[in-house]
Amino acid sequence: MKIDHIPMTEQELMQEIIHQYDEALKNIDLDTIIPRDKAIIELTHIELETLQKLIENRTALSLNFEFFDITLNKTVEIKEDFQVRTIFHQSQNYCLKSISFNYASAIILISLVFKEPMDQLINEVITPKPIDKKDISLAMIIAIICFSTFFITYGGIPEILSFALFGAGFSALGFIYEKVKDRLNFNSKRKINERRFYTSQYLTAHLAEHAHQRLNLDSVE
């Protein structure tokens, strides 16, 4: 999927994600309901064709498939292509158990395909207030004056005044430290990745709702 890197609003990005999802569905007959708990060999031609197309596009559609092995009485989750070949080759021994939305797969897909527009949205929505240079300069001047006065007059002025000077200087330095630390933390790689992850989770939740409506899925994983 090719995405034009133009700044998007949250709604526009969500619409683009849904549009790309629907593009992957356009050659699939969505009116066909694939029966569960029915041997694959007993499916009609259109049911079988629809199932095969959904499986072929499972990565783009973030779908998870579970089949029931009738002979071994156990559930098989599709993870590899060879499992698909086995199931359709031995179609009399398997029936579809469920088709569900693969939440983890969708988060990864959205994070990769829509990384740039998503980052632009994150920066636009939660970019921190720039550090006020006037406040920093004032705090620095206060700290210099307080510490200079403290060391110059130490022992020559009342002790309580010395502690007050030291405390005021320390508070000014603390103010500067907190302002700079908040800015550095906001722009740290860990924080950026964290914001990207939570944003992709939010977008995926909306995509999951859309997928359920279009495909009548069994459950969200």
Strands 94-101 and 63-69, how do they pair? Answer: antiparallel
Amino acid at 94: Y
User: pLDDT, tens digit, for every residue of 105-120?
Assistant: 999 999 889 888 888 8
Q: Is the pLDDT assigned to residue 100 strictly greater than 80?
A: yes
- What pLDDT does residue 178 have? 74
> Which of 19, 78, 13 has its CA nearest to residue 214?
19
Q: Are 94 and 68 in contact (CB under 8 A)?
A: yes
Q: Are 28 and 54 in contact (CB under 8 A)?
A: yes
- What pLDDT does residue 221 have? 46
**Helix residue ranges, H only, 92-158:** 103-113, 115-126, 133-153
Q: Is the pLDDT assigned to residue 96 strictly greater than 90?
A: yes
Tokens 């006037």 found at:
134
Q: Are 52 and 88 in contact (CB under 8 A)?
A: yes
Q: At a CB cut-off of 8 Å and minimum separation 6, what does 156 contact? A: none
pLDDT band at residue 131 under the 50/70/90 scheme = low
